[in-house]
Amino acid sequence: MVLAHPSPDLYGSDRMLVESVRALVPGHRVIVALPADGPLSPALREAGAEVVVLPVPVLRKSYMTPFGLVRLAFAAAGALPRAWRLLRRERAAALYVNTVTIPLWLLAARLARVPALCHVHEAEDDVPGPVRAALSMPLRLARSVVVNSRASAAALGSAGRGAQIIYNGVEEPPEPVAPPRAVLDGPARIVLVGRLSPRKGSDVAVRAVRSLRDRGYDANLTLVGSVFPGYEWFEEELRGLAGGDGAVAFAGFRPSVWNSFAEADIAIVPSRVEPFGNVAVEAMLAGRPVVASATQGLVEIVADGENGVLVAPDDPDALAAGIARLLDDWDGAQAMAKRAGADAALRFGKDRYHRELRDAVRRLAGPDADPIPPTA
């Protein structure tokens, strides 16, 4: 079968694609189509997939202008025949589209008469109704729809009512991560792992740490991640907010999250928009206390005071207060982190994810579908 994905990077939804491949390779020959080569490619090959580069337009805000729509139409006209030919050449038993942002693949599947499943990782409930309707309209071309949270289903409106919810399955660390420091000797080490983006609240994190330090807390922040091309302005803005006292470090992209958590005392997830929140689960599995925004899919992961701390989104002072709650009762924070790790392993384990995804694909392709034979 063919899997289509919009990015060659290695962040949350990209790592979920790797887990999807691991779920499907035991019964299928899996071919993954990416728009370019990147850090995701070797991870997919290691999981057992073949990787082909086939650029298709990805729905971005830059297309939401008259000129942008013209560019989108030209890009789609060139990419559609290539996507159709790939599905026909590989005699795909099914197409798995790992996002709603590449609807061209769903059209290619319909034209090639290949059953398609769209796995929605987005929850765009803050956009105008017509835009949301336009984003969900191509889902009518899919035979089945899977979403990664109740928030994602709700954001799709009527298109999400029949969708199957499959929570992400997050791989545990390959080896145990060292526990948090028993005593916070020196600055509290706070980490935010994720793309540098307004959606991820990177600016909220920087402002919150500045607020903490103004309140007398000795705390540092490490930002682990990079920006989308074209968003370099946002990193410059973050560096300006960070100041020059060394309280905020920019670590750049790292292919593995575990070392970043091992170096930290507290993990924060201050997203403004977060359909699920893999990094919150990963932080729990790493034994780190978590402070997260009370938004969208994060409230399906974090229960305030039980396995983490929830704070108002887009509010640096609220985030600072949430971090202070942990610092003021560090023994309680560590006990909560232990409970969170066990809870995350139970609810968001990869074995459960693999099983549920295989069942969804089996229903899509039919119970008697044979694995795809190699191309001659």
Give me the pLDDT at residue 155, please: 84
Instruction: Indicate whether 342 and 359 sit together in one domain.
Output: no
Which three-class secondary structure string do you get for the chain? CEEECCCCCCCHHHHHHHHHHHHHCCCCCCEEEECCCCCHHHHHHHHCCEEEECCCCCCCHHHCCHHHHHHHHHHHHHHHHHHHHHHHHCCCCCEEECCCCCCHHHHHHHHHCCCEEEEECCCCCCCCHHHHHHHHHHHHHCCEEEECCHHHHHHCHHHHCCCEECCCCCCCCCCCCCCCCCCCCCCEEEEEECCCCCCCCHHHHHHHHHHHHHCCCCEEEEEECCCCCCCHHHHHHHHHHHCCCCCEEEEECCCCCHHHHHCCCEEEECCCCCCCCHHHHHHHHCCCCEEEECCHHHHHCCCECCCEEEECCCCHHHHHHHHHHHHHCHHHHHHHHHHHHHHHHHHCCHHHHHHHHHHHHHHHHCCCCCCCCCCC
Beta-carbon-side half-sphere exposure of residue 54 (alpha carbons within 13 Å): 25
Instruction: Indicate whether 243 and 331 sit together in one domain.
Output: yes
Instruction: Indicate whether 213 and 81 sit together in one domain.
Output: no
Are the C-beta atoms of residues 121 and 276 closer than 8 Å to each other? yes
What average pLDDT does the chain have?
89
Instruction: Indicate whether 212 and 321 sit together in one domain.
Output: yes
Q: What is the extent of the structural domain holding 38?
A: 2-169+350-365
Instruction: Indicate whether 165 and 232 sit together in one domain.
Output: no
In a domain, 313, yes or no: yes
Give me the pLDDT at residue 376, please: 31
In a domain, 375, yes or no: no
What band does 368 get if pLDDT is binned at 50, 70 and 90?
very low
The pLDDT tens digits of the residues spanning 317-350 come to 999 999 999 999 999 999 999 999 999 999 998 9
Instruction: Indicate whether 334 and 210 sit together in one domain.
Output: yes
In a domain, 69, yes or no: yes
In a domain, 77, yes or no: yes
- Phi and psi of 188, rounded to 5°? -70, 135
What band does 369 get if pLDDT is binned at 50, 70 and 90?
very low
Instruction: Indicate whether 355 and 339 sit together in one domain.
Output: no
In a domain, 180, yes or no: no
Q: How many CB atoms neighbour CB 181 within 10 A?
A: 14
The pLDDT tens digits of the residues spanning 62-73 come to 665 666 667 778
CATH number at residue 132: 3.40.50.2000
In a domain, 376, yes or no: no
Instruction: Indicate whether 158 and 233 sit together in one domain.
Output: no
The pLDDT tens digits of the residues spanning 158-169 come to 767 789 999 999
- pLDDT above 80 for 176: yes
The residues near 150 (Cβ < 8 Å, ≥ 6 apart) are 165, 297, 300
In a domain, 60, yes or no: yes
In a domain, 96, yes or no: yes
Number of domains into which the chain is organized: 2
Instruction: Indicate whether 163 and 269 sit together in one domain.
Output: no
Q: Kindly provide the b/e burial profile for residues 89-124, where b requires at least 16 CB atoms within 10 angstroms of the residue's own CB.
A: ebebbbbbbbbbbbbbbbbbbbebebbbbbbbbbbb
The pLDDT tens digits of the residues spanning 276-297 come to 999 999 999 999 999 999 999 9
Instruction: Indicate whether 156 and 230 sit together in one domain.
Output: no
The pLDDT tens digits of the residues spanning 218-244 come to 999 999 999 888 889 999 999 999 988
> In DSSP terms, which residues pair with 192 in a beta bridge?
223
The number of angstroms, rounded, from the C-alpha of 364 to the middle of its chain's C-alpha atoms is 24
Instruction: Indicate whether 240 and 114 sit together in one domain.
Output: no
Instruction: Indicate whether 114 and 220 sit together in one domain.
Output: no
Q: How far apart are alpha carbons 347 and 362 in whole angstroms?
A: 23
The pLDDT tens digits of the residues spanning 17-62 come to 999 999 999 989 999 999 999 999 999 999 999 999 999 988 766 6
Report pTM.
0.82
The amino acid that residue 251 corresponds to is A
